[in-house]
A and B are shown apart, each in its own frame.
Chain A
Amino acid sequence: MNQVINQGGQEVIGVGRVEGPILVVEGGIDVGYDEVVEIHDSQGQLRRGRILEVGEGMAVVEVFAGTTGLSVDGTRVRFLGGPLHIPVAEEMLGRIFDGLGNPLDGGPQPLTDRYADINGQPINPTARVYPRDFIQTGISAIDGLNTLLRGQKLPLFSGAGMPHDQLAAQIVRQATLGRPAGEASGDSEQFAIVFAAMGVKHDVADFFRHSFTESGALTRVAMFLNLADDPPVERLVTPRAALTLAEYLAFERGMHVLVVLTDMTNYCEALRQISNIRGEVPSRKGYPGYLYSDLASIYERTGRIKTSDGSITQVPILTMPNDDITHPVPDLTGYITEGQIVLGRDLNHNGIYPPITVLPSLSRLMKDGIGAGRTRADHSHLSAQLYAAYAHVMDVRSLASVIGEEELGEVDQQYLKFGRAFEQEFVNQTYTENRTIERTLDIGWKLLSMLPKEELTRVTLEEIEKYYGAGQRDGHASD
């Protein structure tokens, strides 16, 4: 029999059932849905968990660290009477925490009396400020074609073995508030960085730590690490803990925060695991029907609000199982985020870095952050034209693979050349290359000038007049 101590229903010795990472506690307990619990095993070791379902005298608990070593009679469960809170403070920048927000760097608990509920609360749409400020990442395929704005959520869709970590690190290192082309970049305001790892390998975490150290950013970074050998269930807390700190920094301390979450696929797998053990009706590929809402509760914690100058920009990373973009994790992510940057195997094989596959990539907020006074007046037409031309390249390539390159018409031959140059000169750059927006746009025009003017129907005649062939004329955009 379970023994209930502390007749407020606060502590129970012995549980009814243990199954996977789930405990079912029975007995005359009086606890609330979604509350946090502390679990002590017979050795007195502490772990934490969360209530997933409550009935009369019954509670279903997910144990973050898993249930290994827990026994039916020897387990002591304390109900803490509220949802999980973590401390939030500016001094958490420069520190490393585990997936639940406990210090992992040997340092002390952050000194603060501000504790915040990790679940956060939805931002009222009337309180939001629509993002409009462009972030210059120095990466042409992003700045030129899929511009990132402050307060945007823009994930990297990648696959195993592709350089998404490098790309994310480069974005973090180079991101500054963009200036219109031609204007000197002012005192570049620096981002605070909140980094959350879910189920990634140690060397990935080390890579990021290294990269932050090298760029001197380490003091501006808070890392929350749940690594591959850490308990999977804990992963469900990690991004929420990270975003709770990010919200505090952005909306209470007025900072610009860049949040990197990696790897969301691992997160979703942990969610699926819990769901399956509970016998819930699955939707696609065994993922629970609420995966969309659950992911939204993470991704929507991004943006700007009227009462603060700060912002949260999210760059989640996910690896697409089998490189399949229709897999539920990238699919539902794409339905929530404000675009996606897609990395492609083929480009990667061809040695293009970053291997950003341009066509399926998208920044939905781009339209409001570019143009005269923000980047340059021709930006929007130029990017539409590059897209259209490159899409045509794809058609020509498949035609060429059937009838042979020699059989192509003259214009289509030019498209093929354009396509190769586009990948080699526009998309391709080095890991340390930081291009200004002006440079990016100029490369774009230089490449378009490889095509006959008549083909350029997405740009205006005035723009053609001004920029077509400009690189050739004054030599400044040629390498």
Chain B
Amino acid sequence: MTQQVGTVTWINGPVIRARGSRNVSMLELVEVGEEHLVGEVIGLNGDVITAQVYEETSGMRPGAPVFGTGLPLSVELGPGLLRSIFDGVQRPLPVIEMRLGSFIERGMRLTPLYRKTPWDFTPRVSVGDEVSGGIILGTVPETDALEHRVMVPPDVSGTLTWVAPAGKYTLEDIIAKVRTRSGAERELTMLQRWPVRRLRPYKTRLGQNIPLITGQRVLDTFFPVAKGGAAAIPGGFGSGKTVTQHQIAKWADTEVIVYIGCGERGNEMTEVLQEFPHLVDPRSGRPLMERTVLIANTSNMPVAAREASIYTGITIAEYYRDMGYHVALMADSTSRWAEALREVSGRLEEMPAEEGYPAYLANRLAEFYERAGYVETLNGSKGSVSVVGAVSPPGGDFSEPVTQHTKRFIRCFWALDKALASARHFPSINWLDSYSEYLEDVADWWREEVGKDWYHQRNQAMEILSEESRLSQIVKLVGPDALPDEERLILETARLLREGFLQQSAMDEIDQYSTVQKQIRMLELILHFHQRALRIVKHGAAISVIHNLPSVGTLIRMKTLVPNDQLEKLDDIQKEIDQQMDQLDSEYR
């Protein structure tokens, strides 16, 4: 339990120094002052303890006691995580609201998971079984969307001497007993703790060749991220990071979503809280909230807890991965987390590297993104954590340290573009600056699962788009009339790709989410249009003839006209195109 280990000597915002015991350990959780504000040891020098405090330190005085806990900062893992919203150090925000009302006061000490809920536990093991870390002891229907698999903690192994029969148990009830090799008996409950800064163990890493399907065309078709991969989405303010991440959180084909609002707006978390319970997951048919865990440290909450929120989130994500699930984690925004590091570092008067950031920034980023992965878990199942990190570069300038270092640790880069956002081209992901290194890796999946040569078509479309960019340079100088009609057709088709395919409204009932089948069919139609028009243009038709075809408007509107479950309408559109082209074919031979 807690015991006084020191006395505060200095306070500067979230950073305090204390003098006291030499037996406190690095990254140990401490409690500071009579209010027992939670903090974490971040420096030790002789008898001087430096700690960051996760709560407002207003009014704290030198002389205040510091208590040690002997434990590192940890999260609670068990049934009840889904549907929850926690602060950066896993305090349940709804409970805080219940106790304190609308405003968050400091000094609240709450257990993250509610202890009294009875959960329906069904054992999967029997007495006498040999078990080790990760082995599934039994299951709990945590929500209607997800079966929670209660696992042996990673550091426990031995023989089961007792297993609870199927029935209702709370998190505090013992559900199994294990005789470990040393002969001691360990009693297991459905509740585990894990230090947030340590990655949870797995058996092996697996190759990443299944795409994370997000229903967002520019992502899935043009710049896919693989399950277990890491992507960054950098962009200046208002360019669409949050909307894109919300879209992924809504529609990604994973069993679990962890969404971290890290130093961003309160209203954005409220939006998720009010929207997700009413949105239905197209796969499970259940409300999206049933697969979602939210972590909220808004921009006006204490900055040290912002730093912790990222780790709290990823540890929870790893826990569900270990059950054999696909998990997608969104962090909005990793820049605010980096700034929290900078702020604490600054108050410690550490030597800054670039732009005031501490020299260990790159290391921390690497550690975070390394926790993404597709793995074989300790129990032999397969699970993944995919990470999507928003980056908020000052002035929208990607040459700054956080963007630059992040680029080293991710393989998928979704570059947002202010100019596109200004023109209301959404998602404003620039197709020339973005890249995915997973393209070849996921091509087989498309062939096998969708039955289409996606890779080839995608590259064809990309060629048209890059050709457009080259041609527009010329147009800017001499006007479009100077181009031969074949090249002007490139511009026409590129416009179809931009307006008809890449642009996707997050606010349109039909357009907000496209199945992969719809995506590839839409792409095929545009390319088909291009092929047929090319022939006609080559036979001497003026570009205006193509431009004025009614099917141009149809192709631009098909995204909102054709729902995912009525793809046959796309066949009708193809017929419409063919009719109009046949007509032209007969005119221009």
Contact = CB atoms under 8 A, between A and B. Distances in A.
Contact of A124 (B104, B303, B355): B104
Nearest to B547: A454
Interface in B496-535: 499, 507
Contact of B423 (A306, A331, A387): A387
B58 to A, nearest CB: 4
A208 interface: no
B285 interface: no
Interface in B511-564: 547-548, 552-553, 556-557, 560
Interface in A258-315: 280-284, 288-290, 292-293, 296-297, 300-301, 303, 305-307
A52 B10 CA distance: 11
B104 A121 contact: yes
Nearest to A334: B237
A407 interface: yes
A330 B559 CA distance: 36
Contacts of B300: 122, 293, 296-297, 300-301
A377 interface: no
B394 A33 contact: no
A403 B483 CA distance: 14
A387 B339 contact: no
A131 interface: yes
Interface stretch (A107-115, A162-170, A336-344): A336-344
B277 interface: no
B20 interface: no
Contacts of A301: 300
A409 B269 contact: no
Q: Give the interface centre of B57, B103, B267, B548 by most chain A CB atoms within 10 Å.
A: B267
B396 A123 contact: no
A119 interface: yes
Interface stretch (A16-24, A357-365, A421-429, A432-440): A357-365
B125 interface: no
B48 to A, nearest CB: 12
A359 B548 contact: no
A32 B61 contact: yes
Contacts of B553: 454, 457
A384 interface: yes
Contacts of A380: 507
Given A34-B58, A300-B265, A409-B480, A340 B238 contact: yes
A230 B98 CA distance: 43
Given A127-B102, A335-B237, A384 B85 contact: no
B298 interface: yes
Interface residues of A, number: 82
A131 B60 contact: no
A388 B424 contact: yes
Contacts of B271: 130, 368
B570 to A, nearest CB: 18
Contacts of A407: 479, 481
Contacts of A360: 418, 422
Which residue, A124, A126, A457, has most C-beta atoms of chain B within 10 A? A124
Interface string B257-294: 00001010111011101100000000000000000000
Nearest to A410: B544
B544 to A, nearest CB: 9
B103 to A, nearest CB: 4
Given A125-B85, A130-B271, A391 B303 contact: no
Nearest to A456: B553
Interface stretch (A53-61, A196-204, A220-228, A466-474): A53-61
A32 B12 CA distance: 10
B273 A281 contact: no
A283 B266 contact: no
Contacts of A130: 267, 270-271, 274
B395 interface: yes
Contact of A305 (B62, B102, B479): B102
A184 interface: no
Interface string B314-355: 000000000000000000000010010011001001001001
Contact of B343 (A125, A289, A338): A289
Interface stretch (B209-217, B371-379, B454-462, B470-478): B470-478
A367 interface: yes
B93 interface: yes
Interface residues of B, number: 78
Given A125-B269, A251-B102, A328 B394 contact: yes
Interface string A24-58: 00000011111100000000000000001111110
A54 B290 CA distance: 46
B108 to A, nearest CB: 11
Nearest to A301: B300
Given A289-B343, A293-B299, A33 B102 contact: no
B59 interface: yes
A151 B342 CA distance: 31
B552 A35 contact: no
Nearest to A404: B479
Given A33-B60, A292-B299, A360-B422, A326 B397 contact: yes
Interface in A150-188: 151
A326 B59 contact: no
Contacts of B395: 326-327, 331
B548 A454 contact: yes
Contacts of A402: 476-479
A121 B103 contact: yes
B9 interface: yes
A129 interface: yes
Contact of A398 (B101, B342, B476): B476
B102 A289 contact: no
A103 interface: no
A283 B58 contact: no
Contacts of A368: 271
A33 B104 contact: no
B207 interface: no
Contacts of B349: 281
Contact of B103 (A55, A57, A123): A123
A74 interface: no
Contacts of B481: 407, 409
A336 to B, nearest CB: 6
A372 interface: no
Contact of B85 (A126, A303, A340): A126
A284 B355 contact: yes
B39 to A, nearest CB: 14
Contacts of A326: 394-397
A128 interface: yes
A122 B299 CA distance: 9
Contacts of B63: 30, 56
Contact of B339 (A56, A289, A359, A367): A289
A125 B556 contact: no
Given A55-B10, A130-B271, 20 more contacts: A33-B13, A33-B57, A34-B58, A82-B59, A83-B58, A123-B103, A126-B94, A282-B356, A289-B339, A292-B336, A296-B299, A307-B102, A332-B394, A334-B236, A339-B238, A388-B424, A403-B478, A454-B547, A457-B499, A457-B556
10 contacts: A56-B63, A119-B58, A122-B301, A124-B96, A293-B343, A296-B300, A300-B265, A303-B267, A334-B237, A387-B424
Interface of A: 30-35, 52-57, 82-83, 119-131, 151, 251, 280-284, 288-290, 292-293, 296-297, 300-301, 303, 305-307, 326-328, 331-332, 334-336, 338-340, 359-360, 362, 364-365, 367-368, 380, 384, 387-388, 391-392, 398-399, 402-403, 407-409, 454, 457, 460-461
Instruction: Give the 6 A-B CB pairs with smallest separation, nearest first.
Output: A326-B395, A296-B299, A391-B423, A334-B237, A127-B102, A125-B269
Interface of B: 9-13, 57-63, 85, 93-94, 96-97, 100-105, 236-238, 261, 263, 265-267, 269-271, 273-274, 296, 298-301, 303, 336, 339, 342-343, 346, 349, 352, 355-356, 392, 394-397, 418, 421-425, 475-481, 499, 507, 547-548, 552-553, 556-557, 560
